[in-house]
């Protein structure tokens, strides 16, 4: 289970439910009207569908398909479940339910991939890698020669680092309280890593001191409201961009000083790295 799934289970899930929203597989059969995939095709699953018809799908800068809201009810978009156990319904998760040998998805929730693609690797494109990499490339639009900070060095955080490196960032600072993650972060492209517990002052002050004026691009990849505030305060006061990648628990309110906005900082959200999945 990833952090996002843990929070959804605590807040909004219906039980019993088949979890999992990251996967790849082979189409076993298709229902009436399906035209973009056929039995035998390799596909990745998309927790964020792409209907191609709503205002979000038709907007070149948007990817938050309206059909995603339907999948958050633990049912298919038509309001039914396709899973049963002993005659009783079993609920879906994110319209994918990938912790299963067989699952049922809407056509708009799969993307056909190359026939030689290794399923055990491309499954990461269906969420973790794309979410992090795209947050840097698409949402933040990291610029060459810039300084970045990444809060949270799990799989998605490492993908953010890869995106920052690919965009040409000159300095990428990894932030985590688990030092065991530092080596892997540096392999992914981090130029240095720091542990907030090693300092007596708040981490945002540490980052401002390290960079002189704050980082140009900052990413919160944990889903911790206190860390969102710290990441935002770590940004350069005139042109810093902070992207929230980690899911915050339902109903959580952010406590951020309004004064931080009186300069030019930007606070942004990102889902699936800004990609249109299909």
Residues identified as active-site:
2, 5-7, 21, 51, 54, 57, 65, 127
Beta bridge partners of 268: 243
SS3 assignment for the chain: CCHHHHHHHHHCCCCCECCCCCCEEECCCCCCCCCCCCCCCEEEECCCCCCCCCHHHHCCCCCCCCHHHHHCCCCCCCCCCCEEECCEEEECCCCCCCCCCCCCCCHHHEEECCCCCCHHHHHHHHCHHHHHHHHHHHHHCCCCCCEEEEECCCHHHHHHHHHHHHCCCCEEEEECCCHHHHHHHHHHCCCEEECHHHCCCCHHHHHHHHHCCCECEEEECCCCHHHHHHHHHHECCCCCEEEECCCCCCCCCCCCCHHHHCCCCEEEECCHHHCCCC
d(CA 175, CA 57): 34
As a whole number of angstroms, the longest Cα–Cα distance in the chain is 63
Task: Give the whole-angstrom CA distance, residue 140 versus residue 128.
Answer: 17
Place of tokens 């944990």: 222
């Amino acid at each position: 289970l990833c952090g996002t799934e843990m929070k959804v289970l605590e807040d909004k899930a219906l039980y019993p439910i088949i979890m999992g929203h990251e996967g790849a597989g082979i189409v076993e059969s298709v229902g009436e009207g399906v035209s973009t995939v056929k039995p035998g095709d390799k596909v990745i699953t998309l927790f964020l569908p792409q209907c191609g018809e709503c205002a979000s799908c038709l907007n070149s800068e948007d990817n938050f398909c309206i059909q995603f809201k339907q999948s958050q009810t633990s049912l298919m978009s038509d309001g039914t479940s396709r899973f049963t156990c002993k005659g009783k319904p079993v609920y879906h998760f994110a319209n994918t339910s990938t912790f299963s040998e067989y699952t049922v998805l809407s056509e708009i929730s799969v993307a056909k991939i190359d026939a030689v693609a290794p399923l055990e690797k491309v499954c990461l494109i269906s969420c973790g890698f794309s979410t992090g990499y795209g947050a840097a490339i698409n949402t933040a639009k990291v610029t060459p020669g810039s300084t970045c900070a990444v809060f949270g060095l799990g799989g998605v955080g490492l993908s953010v680092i890869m995106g920052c490196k690919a965009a040409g960032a000159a300095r990428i600072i990894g932030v985590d309280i688990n030092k065991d993650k530092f080596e892997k972060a540096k392999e992914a492209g981090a130029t240095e890593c720091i542990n907030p517990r090693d300092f007596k002052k708040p981490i945002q002050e540490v980052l401002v001191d390290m960079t002189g004026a704050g980082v140009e691009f900052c990413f919160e990849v944990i889903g911790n409201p206190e860390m969102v505030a710290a990441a935002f305060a770590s940004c350069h006061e005139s042109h810093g961009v902070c992207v929230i990648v980690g899911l915050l628990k339902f109903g959580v309110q952010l406590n951020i000083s309004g004064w931080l906005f009186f300069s030019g900082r930007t606070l942004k959200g990102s889902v699936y790295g800004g990609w249109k999945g299909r």
